[in-house]
Amino acid sequence: MRYFCELQRNEFLGLIKKMKQIIMTVEKHKAIVFILLFAAGFFLSQSVSLSAHGEENEKKKVVLQEVNTPPIPNKLFFAGEEVPLGHFDIRENLDRELMVNCYFHSQTLRYIKLAPRYFKIIEPILEQDTIPDDFKYLALAESGFDPKAVSPAGAVGIWQFMKSTAKDYGLEINDEIDERYHIEKATKAACKYLKESYAKYGNWTTVAASYNVGRNGIDRQVERQKESHYYNLLLPEETMRYVFRILALKVILESPEQYGFNVPNHEKYPSISYKTVEVDSSVTSFADFAHHFGTNYKLLKMLNPWLREPYLKNAGGKTYEIKIPKGRFRKNYTTEL
């Protein structure tokens, strides 16, 4: 019994000794223990915070860009003829072209800026030839108001005339001259074509469609479908969209702010002031010609893209009017709308 008590006493003393050693170790390394405990607490708090933010972000709706559908007008007319917007297919076709042109921002902005320059040339000619003013939007749809535009099929200029058609309507085309690039003369030729088409179809909307697909194209479909009006004809995809593109451009350019385009007048491109010089003989060098009249070859060609070579032989002795930039227009660039 005494031996057993002695054994218990020794075990108890050994336990006390070990506890002292543990306490001494803790005292010795308490700084490390404190740092570890602090770090554990920090990372735990960050984990909770990130989790809370994650849940909060999931609840938030991230909007990168607000996109709205363009408004469709209650009523719309082309060349005085009402567009039947009450028909679902007509409304949807217009809606498509409004969306395309409203959200092709850079292109439509450029159209709005260019419009004053080219409308000033085209509008008086349309009025003089009794063609509805809305056909200026057809020229825009055709070429984007690029006077040097050339289509893959070979159509050229603001009004996109093919070579054979252009010659039929009195435009001169040879190695040195291509009047499809002459805005005024090409507009006059377009007016002749449009008048003839109106005499044939009796409505301006079908006339506009025929400008794209050709009169023969319209005639074939009229005969096949026993319908005569554009809005009732099934036509090739390009022509089906063509008139609606013209309509969309009209709607946007008439009320650009309503469709999100805010272009101050001073940021629109003004018409270029020029004078004309008559030439009835050959010109050896248009570079020298330009310098003689106080301008340069680049600006001369910009105003007269119908001059296709850097010279003019003019074997027939015809009289041509060549535009020369007026005064110091290039430096004194001001908007006059």
Residues with catalytic roles = 142
| Residue 308 CB coordination number (10 Å) | 15
Asked if residues 178 and 159 have their Cβ atoms less than 8 Å apart, the reply is: no
Per the structure block, which two tokens stand in for 55?
């849940």
222-to-32, 199, 226, 236, 250 alpha-carbon distances in Å? 94, 16, 5, 13, 27
The dihedral sign for the CA sequence 86, 90, 91, 94:
negative
Tokens 């920090």 appear where? 42
| Burial class of residue 131, CB neighbours in 10 A (0-12, 13-18, 19+) | buried
CA distance 222 to 194: 18
Helices (DSSP H) in the chain: which residue ranges?
Answer: 2-28, 30-59, 88-102, 105-128, 135-143, 163-168, 183-201, 204-213, 215-225, 237-254, 286-292, 297-303
